[in-house]
């Protein structure tokens, strides 16, 4: 199953390094697993003489088999866990935890205002599992942050996407009595007490881009680490340090004054929120939602 999931990740990105990153593997280890799959099949799946890499004719043919097998196994697992129900079809979404909590509820409300009632299922997970759900066909849509330098670079022909919104990643801190941030990235002096994401998370990689841009990695004193933006936000509100949080997650806290910006525009990063689907899959219900969102995007252009 790991080999199949590796291969599906490679076919989705057409890039060994990005696929390895999405699978939380080193590139040499990832390449060995693709080689092992090819040896087991007795054929070459990937043309490594081109950049980006391309699937061979055998690779294209096997991709359909890998997707079907992965779907069957994921469906069997869901049935074993009691996740599937013999009811009317639902549109299934996979999304990062932060998006599921801060973006999805309002966005879905607006969708229903235009389309009417929609039966939906949302699975909140990390980037790796969300992408795997999309490439294996176990969800209809993936909603994820996107950035040109980010780890998620899906093949646009295989996995088209629509822009849903833009989002700022910004540093926040609990305030002092006079309203200034308790921890200020612009203040000179000692290292700033910092609440960080786990290194293998999408938002953690986005924070690394901000720090590299400001040549600031050495100025941070990382005192707490967590993969969840809402967990870091809670610690920041308790005065434990500065945290980089998507703006939609802290908008109400900023309005209430329980958090304040902890740096200027140079410490922020603009990201996109995108809706992805597989070009090879699409039930009537999901196509209807996709066409509606595409129409909204065309009107806004």
Q: Helix, strand or coil for residue 53? A: coil
Q: Whole-angstrom Cα distance, residue 251 to residue 259? A: 9
Buried b (16+ CB within 10 A) or exposed e, 171-195: bbbbbeeeeebbbbbeeeeeebbbb
| H or E element at residue 241 | none
Q: Domain 1-86 is of which CATH architecture?
A: Orthogonal Bundle (1.10)
Token duo for residue 11: 């076919």
Helix 104-115 to helix 284-300 angle, to the nearest 10 degrees? 100
Would you state the pLDDT for residue 83? 58
Q: How far is CA 101 from CA 95, 118, 246, in A?
A: 10, 18, 11
Indicate the pairing of strand 141-146 with strand 192-196.
unpaired
Topology alike, domains 1-86 and 166-271:
no
Token duo for residue 16: 């060994």
Domain boundaries, the chain: 1-86, 166-271
Q: Whole-angstrom Cα distance, residue 9 to residue 258? A: 41
Q: Whole-angstrom Cα distance, residue 297 to residue 162? A: 8
Dihedral sign from CA coordinates of 207, 194, 25, 202:
negative
Token duo for residue 287: 């196509």
Do 13 and 63 touch, CB atoms closer than 8 A?
no
The CATH superfamily holding the domain 166-271 is: Periplasmic binding protein-like II (3.40.190.10)
Would you state the pLDDT for residue 9? 85
Would you state the pLDDT for residue 87? 47
| 257 Ramachandran zone, left/alpha/beta (phi>0; psi -120 to 50) | left
pTM for the predicted model, two decimal places:
0.72
Give the number of other CB atoms < 10 A from CB of residue 72. Answer: 12
Token duo for residue 234: 């809670």
Q: Tokens 């939609």 map to which residue?
A: 248
Q: Whole-angstrom Cα distance, residue 2 to residue 25? A: 12
Would you state the pLDDT for residue 49? 73
Q: Whole-angstrom Cα distance, residue 92 to residue 268? A: 32
**CA-only gyration radius of the chain, Å:** 21
Would you state the pLDDT for residue 86? 47
Alpha helix (H) ranges present in the chain?
A: 2-13, 16-22, 27-41, 57-80, 97-102, 104-115, 127-135, 202-214, 229-237, 247-256, 284-300
| H or E element at residue 279 | none
- Over its length of 301 residues, how does the chain's per-residue pLDDT go in tens digits? 888 888 888 888 888 888 887 787 888 888 899 988 988 888 899 888 766 788 898 988 888 888 888 877 877 777 776 655 544 568 999 999 999 999 999 999 999 999 899 999 998 888 878 888 888 777 899 999 999 887 777 888 888 999 999 999 999 999 999 999 999 998 887 889 999 998 778 899 899 999 998 888 678 899 999 989 999 999 999 999 999 999 999 999 999 999 999 988 999 999 999 999 988 766 788 888 999 999 988 888 7
């Amino acid at each position: 199953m790991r080999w199949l999931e590796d291969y599906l990740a490679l076919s989705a990105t057409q890039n060994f390094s990005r696929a390895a990153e999405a699978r939380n593997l080193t590139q040499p280890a990832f390449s060995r697993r693709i080689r092992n799959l090819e040896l087991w099949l007795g054929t070459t799946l990937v043309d490594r003489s081109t950049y980006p890499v391309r699937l061979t004719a055998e690779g294209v043919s096997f991709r359909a088999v890998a997707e079907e097998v992965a779907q069957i196994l994921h469906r069997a697992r869901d049935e074993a866990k009691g996740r599937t129900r013999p009811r009317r079809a639902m549109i299934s979404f996979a999304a990062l935890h932060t998006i599921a909590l801060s973006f999805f509820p309002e966005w879905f409300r607006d969708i229903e205002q235009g389309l009417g009632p929609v039966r939906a299922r949302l699975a909140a997970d990390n980037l790796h599992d969300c992408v795997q759900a999309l490439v294996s066909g176990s969800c209809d849509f993936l909603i994820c942050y996107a950035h040109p330098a980010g780890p998620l670079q899906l093949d646009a022909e295989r996995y088209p996407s629509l822009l849903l919104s833009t989002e700022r990643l910004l540093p926040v801190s609990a305030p002092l009595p006079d309203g200034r941030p308790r921890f200020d990235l612009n203040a000179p002096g000692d290292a700033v007490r910092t609440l960080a994401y786990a290194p293998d998370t999408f938002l953690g990689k986005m924070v690394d881009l901000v720090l590299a841009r400001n040549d600031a990695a050495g100025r941070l004193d990382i005192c707490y680490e967590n993969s969840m933006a809402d967990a870091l936000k809670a610690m920041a509100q308790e005065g434990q340090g500065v945290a980089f949080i998507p703006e939609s997650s802290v908008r109400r806290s900023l309005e209430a004054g329980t958090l304040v910006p902890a740096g200027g525009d140079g410490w922020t990063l603009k990201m996109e929120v995108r809706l992805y689907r597989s070009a090879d899959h699409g039930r009537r219900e999901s196509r209807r939602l996709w066409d509606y969102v595409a129409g909204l995007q065309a009107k806004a252009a």
